[in-house]
Amino acid sequence: MADTRLIQGRYRLLDPIGRGGMGEVWRARDESLGRQVAVKCLKPLGPHHDQSFTRVLRERFRREARVAAALQHRGVTVVHDFGESDGVLYLVMELLDGRNLSQLLQDNEHRPLAVTDVLEIAEQVAAALAYTHQQGIVHRDLKPANIVRLADGTVKICDFGIARLGHDIGFTARLTGTGIAMGTPHYMSPEQIGGSEVDQRSDLYSLGCVLYEIATGAPPFDLDDAWAVLVGHRDTPPAPPRRHRADLPEYLEQIILDLLAKLPEQRPHDAHELTRRLLAGRTGPPYVPTVVTARPRPGPPEPTGREAGRLPSWTRDMSTGHKAAGPGPHSTPPDAAAGLSGAWTAHPAVQGERRAEHPATGARPDAVPASAPGAVSAAGPDRRRTPPPEAVEALDGRHHEALGLGRLGRWTEAGEIHREVAAARARLLGADHPDTLASRYEVAFTLSRTGRAADALREYKHVAEARIRALGPDHPDTLAARQEMAYVLGQLGRHFDAHQVYTAVLTARERTMGADHPDSLRCRHNLAFNLSRLGRLEDSYRMACQVAAARARVLGPQHPDTLVTRYEVAYALGQLGRWAEALRTYREVAEARARVLGADHIDTLAARYEIGISLGRLGRSAEALELYRDLIEDRSRVHGPHHPETLRARHGLGVNLGRLGRWEEALAESRDVCALRERVLGTGHPDTLVSRREVAVGLGWLGRWADALTEYRRVAAAREQVLGADHPDTLASRNDEAHCLEQLGRGAEAGELYRRVAVLRQQRAAGGR
């Protein structure tokens, strides 16, 4: 195909970035949205295939492409579009900035990867497989070339759906001589080789082969003859990886060997079990497998005539293909780049979730952002300028460095880098270039996470207005910025304004994408949360239930997004005083997250925190105290003793010590947490102010009202500076101050302060109307 070819009048093919048995992958430009994408074109079938089979193939392609497009997980490549153009079936996917594992091994001169890298890759691939298997999807062609590690460390699996299509063509139709790959022998499970029915455990076997290779530098059966490789998978136990690499942890070796069990029932039952074992190995005592793998007796390394007869007919004349790490310069597989990696300048937005602390209750799912940190504008490059590629690449690197700091919670440092990159991109590319706007978007995000909501709002407003001019009011990137504006308006206590923006964005999303599109549902989730802040608790609860039901229908009942909304349902129940129902829902969410995401996942731990909140509200503070002690231990182990979430759990512990009347202990805990939060988060951070207020509460209960007044006033002054004089949290702090004045016998001052608070509340209510 010529580089000027236009697919469906929309996707302009620019240059090839990979070629494999099923077709070829091109870097392309989406002329409609102005973004760079990857387009995979399947090879057209030759004239010797009958028309009925071709029709079946096309229909199957469409069905599998729909399945792939419905997958929504950070560890799975995003599919944007699919179709047929001039007899060529094509799939449009996100263009990834990274290297697949085959390339990483070659970059490392075919030496094994670092143990930490192997573990990180294993955990991320296991999480992605757990999600896809739960959707009923088996990959069937998992190999190093189909696993990409992005520049920011994220690992993605590619070619879902296409792998299934290749399976159907190869094994069901039994086509030969078409040039279509049957799979790579080095990573095929015994049941695939035998032509048996496969399930998710076949993917786990293939993952075991991949992990064996990246951990040792060679696949488990590193043979040049295809028959020998196939018989090895079927009959021969692999050499323990530590024979090749002594520094490999024993528990990791055992996990890999269990994945490579010949019989599916002898492997880990599913990817969730694999994730648990990996986490247990990292954080727990020496690994002891729950399944003792029975090792088959060694078979011959090469097939005899009788052995060959036991292999299916489709394997005849099969070459070994290419493993990821092979000797010599010709070891690069022809599909090594088919994992859709390549250079880019504008990245598609990545959808994600965000949390914010509620002043009274701690961590909970707040309004969900339109896009996660790291989302970069999908609009194409500004053609008015042709900056030096090395300068653009350097700024991309700095951008990703800042994103990494954000993921570590180091928002102040991340914000400084994003501001530098935004200024440099403005000089180099132009103020309204998509990459410049993407950096300013990230600046706004870091501002919102460091308590500077008003500054964040100004940045988001600038980005939204620029995107409206460049892309139009209904473009997904424009809507993303406007949705973030609504989120920050909520942070500022301007919930009526936030409601109006959310409603407008939701109307546009439903008109352009449909009511059940994940982005539309995300916006409705935000709207449900905002309704609770407007005091419309029944409406909030009703909408949250509707969104949870829709997400369960569209994404599945165990999907993380569905669980986020069920979490919001639980919060709404609490707001309505229905704490027993809230407790039950939080527990169901926590249990589901433990199964889907793992016991130590941040979302699982967050749900456990809310269980503690509910227990406290039900007067079961002794149970809450024990829960928080366990949670502090787990948070400290997973994140460290000074992590904000560990400190949040400690805050909950202090609150419940007070409820049990243990005020000296509660005050000591609150002071310690406040000091740590001040050092880690800053003096004006909302969490720090919540802790300072708890210090004041403890002082009051101990009768030290003068000291309590000092603390209450510090909290009120800080909130007024950050949030404004009429923000509900500021007004609550002024009420605390007035109550303290009353306790000190200064009734006139208290009365004047109460009157001032009442006036501000009336003015705010009038403005909201």
Which CATH number does the domain housing residue 432 bear? 1.25.40.10
Same domain, 162 and 304: yes
Same domain, 137 and 69: no
CB proximity list for 36: less than 8 A, separation 6 or greater: 27, 28, 29, 30, 95, 344, 345, 346, 347, 380
Place 339 in a pLDDT band, splitting at 50, 70 and 90: very low
**Residue ending a domain, choose from 565, 584, 618:** 618
Alpha carbons 549 and 528: distance in angstroms, whole number:
13
Query: Average pLDDT, stretch 434-438?
Result: 91
* Dihedral (CA of 38, 39, 40, 43) sign: negative
Reported confidence tier of residue 375, pLDDT bands at 50, 70, 90: very low
Question: In this structure, is residue 685 part of a structural domain?
Answer: no
Q: Of 220, 217, 18, whose CA–CA distance to 109 is shortest?
A: 217
State yes or no: pLDDT of 376 exceeds 50: no
In a domain, 742, yes or no: no
CATH number, domain with residue 278: 1.10.510.10
User: Is residue 210 very low, low, confident or very high in pLDDT (cuts 50, 70, 90)?
Assistant: very high
Q: Mind listing the pLDDT tens digit for each residue in 222-232?
A: 876 777 888 88
CB burial of residue 9 (10 Å; 0-12, 13-18, 19+): exposed
- Residue 395, C-beta contacts closer than 8 angstroms, at least 6 positions apart: 421, 424, 425, 428, 435
Residues 106 and 47 in one domain: no
Output the pLDDT for position 48. 52
pLDDT tens column, 572-615 = 999 899 999 999 999 999 999 998 888 888 889 999 999 999 99
- Distance CA(421)–CA(432), nearest Å, equals 14
Tell me which residue has tokens 């016998």: 745
Query: Residue 301: which pLDDT band, with cuts at 50, 70 and 90?
Result: very low
Query: 591: which residues sit within 8 A by CB, 6+ positions away?
Result: none
DSSP string, 541-590: HHHHHHHHHHHHHHH-TTSHHHHHHHHHHHHHHHHTT-HHHHHHHHHHHH
Q: Is 143 annotated as a binding residue?
A: no
Residues 236 and 362 in one domain: no
Q: What is the CATH number of the domain that holds 573?
A: 1.25.40
Whether residues 103 and 85 fall in one domain: no
Q: Which of 479, 499, 534 is the last residue of a domain?
A: 534
Measured CA to CA, the distance from residue 201 to residue 260 in angstroms comes to: 10
Determine the Cα–Cα distance for residues 575 and 541; give it in Å rounded to an integer.
Answer: 9
d(CA 660, CA 341): 57
Q: Six-digit token pair at 603?
A: 């979302």
Whether residue 105 is found in the same domain as residue 244: yes
Percentage of residues in the chain with pLDDT exceeding 90?
Answer: 43
Residue whose token pair is 């490789």: 229
Are residues 108 and 87 both part of a single domain?
A: no
Tell me the whole-structure pTM to 2 decimals: 0.49
Question: How is residue 359 written in tokens?
Answer: 């002043």
Is residue 142 a part of any domain in this protein? yes
Contacts of 256 (CB under 8 A, 6+ apart): 208, 211, 212, 215, 241
Residue 297 has phi, psi (to 5 degrees) of: -65, 145
Q: Does 697 reside within a domain?
A: no
Question: Percentage helix, strand, coil, to 5, in the chain?
Answer: 60, 10, 35
User: How many domains, the chain?
Assistant: 4
Q: Which parts of 408-452 fold into alpha helices (H)?
A: 411-429, 434-449
Dig out the tokens for 150 from the structure.
């992005």
Is the residue at 701 inside a domain? no
pLDDT confidence bin for 632, thresholds 50/70/90:
very high
List pLDDT tens digits, range 440-458: 999 999 998 888 889 999 9
Instruction: Give the C-alpha separation, 36 to 95, whole Å.
Output: 7
pLDDT per residue as tens digits for the range 113-124? 989 899 999 999
Range of the domain at 71: 6-94
CATH number at residue 88: 3.30.200.20
Same domain, 70 and 103: no
Of 141, 335, 435, 634, which residue is the catalytic one? 141
Count, residues in the chain: 769
In terms of phi and psi (left: phi > 0; alpha: psi -120 to 50; beta: otherwise), the region of 40 is beta
Give me the residues paired with residue 155 across strands. Answer: 149
Residue 215 near residue 245, CB atoms below 8 Å: yes
How many other CB atoms are found less than 10 A from the CB of residue 285? 8
Cα distance between residue 150 and residue 712, in whole Å: 47
Q: For residues 372-388, give the mean pLDDT.
A: 46
CA distance 97 to 230: 34
| Residue 650 located in a structural domain | no
- pLDDT above 60 for 353: no
The CA–CA distances, whole Å, from 418 to 565, 572, 685 equal 31, 36, 20
Distance CA(457)–CA(357), nearest Å, equals: 18
Residue 311 is predicted with a pLDDT of 52
CB 95 within 8 A of CB 107: no
Q: Tell me if 54 is assigned to some domain.
A: yes
Give yes or no: residues 530 and 574 share one domain.
no
More confident residue, 271 or 320: 271
Lowest model confidence (mean pLDDT) among 99-103, 381-385, 461-465? 381-385
As a whole number of angstroms, the distance between CA 341 and CA 102 comes to 12
Q: Is residue 349 located within the same domain as residue 483?
A: yes
Within 8 A by CB and 6+ apart from 243, the residues are: none
Token output for 314: 């489709």
Does one domain contain both 498 and 581? no
Give the mean pLDDT of the chain: 80
Examine residue 589 and state whether it is found in any structural domain, yes or no: yes
Tokens of 750: 């208290």
At residue 533, what is the residue type?
Answer: R
Among candidate residues 53, 74, 94, the one where a domain is terminated? 94
Residue 457 and residue 370 share a domain: yes
Beta strands 356-358 and 155-157 are: unpaired
The reply to whether 141 belongs to the active site is yes
